Amino acid sequence: MNDIPEKQNEPRQLERLAAQRQLYSTAKRIFGAQVILGAPVAFGWALLVVLFPEVKGFAALWGVAITLADILWLTPWQKQLRESAAKIQEAFDCEVLDLSWNEIKAGKPADYELVKEQAVKFDNGSESTPLWDWYPPVVGDLPIEVARVICQRANCRWDSNQRRRYAAWVIACVIFVSVLVFGLGFIGGMTVEKFFLAIFLPLSPAFILGIRQFTEQTEAANRLDKLKEHADRLWSEACKNESAAISTIKSRALQDEIFENRKRSPLVFDWVFYLVRDRYEEQMNHGAQELAEEAKRKLRLP
């Protein structure tokens, strides 16, 4: 009853998915560099100061320099890439889910040249993330108003789960490093001044990064949970034969919030995605199947 399953696998749409994946991958590599500079390298400086106290000034300078680079350069660069990827994903959703582009919310669409450039880069690499059937094909048997909401709900449900798990791992690492650092200071019999200069200041980028990741990932998951609850309500209303015009307006408003969340949400490393992908994808498809079957019963569809 709708063409979502066919549309999402058209070359034009697969090119968009490849482009947004490539942009996110670039942003994640930048984030990975931040993590390496702010955690393992900084921890190495802390150990070096324990062995050679005379380098404590250089260690402190390192911590300050990395913190400034994070705030002034690396994080803004990430945000720019993330926003471009979110715009490309929004263009995919608008065409596949039959929604109009909201220029007030999303601004100007990403340039065609950017999409092509990034898609080619992705194709030239090893494609470890499948792009076919982005949304569950089972929605193809439903009216577009119901199918669209199920797809929007799937976006929120999937992303929320992986972000909560990632946030738990991050805060566990922060706690572990904190205990280890204070243990080093206690065993070494350091004064407060020496501990601050030799260990805490060099490691401050790691602490800032970890706490910020935990906070932002948790906030993003909370936003997604609220959006999923809203999608559940829209699905229920669409199953009551709500007018197509009203349903489309409500879905467009929900899509605005999904786009805003994509633009604002922090990155999650690909290895986390690969670790949970199969289980979460199975859960997502099962949920979509159940919602589709229930919608057919409510709408008395064959």
Q: What is the pTM of this model?
A: 0.84
Mean pLDDT of the region 283-290: 88
**Distance, CA of 66 to CA of 83 (rounded, Å):** 24
CA distances 299 to 67, 147, 237, 292, Å, are 56, 13, 11, 10
Mean pLDDT of the region 156-172: 84
Per-chain mean pLDDT for the chain: 85
Which of left, alpha, beta for 135 (phi over 0: left; psi -120 to 50: alpha)? beta
**Distance, CA of 201 to CA of 55 (rounded, Å):** 13
- Is it the case that residue 125 has pLDDT exceeding 60? no
Q: How many domains does the chain have?
A: 1
Q: Residue 189: pLDDT band by 50, 70, 90 thresholds?
A: low
The larger pLDDT score, comparing residue 198 to residue 246, is at 246
For helices 144-187 and 201-238, the axis angle rounded to 10 degrees is 160
Q: Please tell me the chain's helix, strand, coil percentages from 3-state DSSP, rounded to the nearest 5.
A: 85, 0, 15
Q: What is the pLDDT of residue 290?
A: 95
Mean pLDDT of the region 165-174: 85
Q: What is the pLDDT of residue 259?
A: 96
Fill in the amino acid letter for 167. Answer: A
pLDDT tens digits along 72-91: 888 899 999 999 999 999 99
Q: What is the pLDDT of residue 177?
A: 74
Percent of the chain with pLDDT over 90: 48
Q: What is the pLDDT of residue 232?
A: 95
Q: What is the pLDDT of residue 183?
A: 74
- CB atoms inside a 10 Å sphere around CB 299: 15
- Is it the case that residue 46 has pLDDT exceeding 70? no
**Distance, CA of 212 to CA of 81 (rounded, Å):** 19
Q: What is the pLDDT of residue 180?
A: 75
**Distance, CA of 78 to CA of 48 (rounded, Å):** 31
The larger pLDDT score, comparing residue 130 to residue 96, is at 96
Tokens 């948790």 correspond to: 218
Q: Residue 13: pLDDT band by 50, 70, 90 thresholds?
A: very high
- Is it the case that residue 127 has pLDDT exceeding 60? no
Q: What is the pLDDT of residue 184?
A: 66
Domain span at 172: 4-299
The larger pLDDT score, comparing residue 160 to residue 136, is at 136
DSSP string of 240-300?
Answer: TT--HHHHHHHHHHHHHHHHHHHHHSPP--HHHHHHHHHHHHHHHHHHHHHHHHHHHHHHT
The larger pLDDT score, comparing residue 285 to residue 237, is at 237
The larger pLDDT score, comparing residue 166 to residue 24, is at 24
Mean pLDDT of the region 252-279: 86
SS3 99: coil
Q: What is the pLDDT of residue 160?
A: 83
Q: What is the pLDDT of residue 197?
A: 62
- Is it the case that residue 130 has pLDDT exceeding 70? yes
For helices 112-124 and 75-96, the axis angle rounded to 10 degrees is 100
Burial of 78 (0-12, 13-18, 19+ CB in 10 A): buried
Q: Count of H helices and E strands in the chain?
A: 12, 0
Percent of the chain with pLDDT over 70: 87
Mean pLDDT of the region 177-195: 69
Q: Residue 277: pLDDT band by 50, 70, 90 thresholds?
A: confident
What's 200's DSSP letter? I
